[in-house]
């Protein structure tokens, strides 16, 4: 979708930048026991890319790893994402009380 919008808006000199980041340390990811990047790091990488006129930002190691794995071994990425999701669901499960 981002690439399509980029092509459509290029004629009016609008730069469309795809910003990719792994897990960002926000309230939304607080319950995930996984390595996260800071919002400030994502903003810094994005501003630097804008200054260079780049069309894609891989803001952290996770986003670079995902990009490489999508190209080289997408099945391994699917398995990892399923494992992370399953772990999240398990931690959300309500444990019955022993009363």
Q: What is the pLDDT of residue 94?
A: 59
- Residue 97's φ and ψ, nearest 5 degrees, are -75, 155
C-alpha 45/C-alpha 14 separation (Å) is: 19
Residue 84 in this model has a pLDDT that exceeds 90: no
Query: Could you count the other beta carbons within 10 Å of the beta carbon of residue 22?
Result: 19
pTM over 0.75: no
Mean pLDDT of 16-35: 92
Mean pLDDT of 53-74: 93
């Amino acid at each position: 979708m981002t690439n399509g919008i980029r092509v459509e808006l290029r004629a009016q000199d609008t730069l469309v930048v795809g910003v990719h980041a792994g897990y960002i340390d926000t309230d939304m990811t607080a319950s995930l026991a996984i390595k996260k990047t800071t919002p400030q790091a994502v903003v810094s990488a994005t501003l630097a890319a804008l200054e260079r006129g780049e069309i894609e930002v891989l803001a952290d190691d996770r986003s670079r790893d995902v990009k490489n794995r999508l190209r080289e071994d997408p099945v391994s990425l699917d398995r990892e994402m399923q494992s992370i999701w399953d772990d999240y669901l398990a931690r959300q499960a309500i444990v019955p009380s022993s009363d």
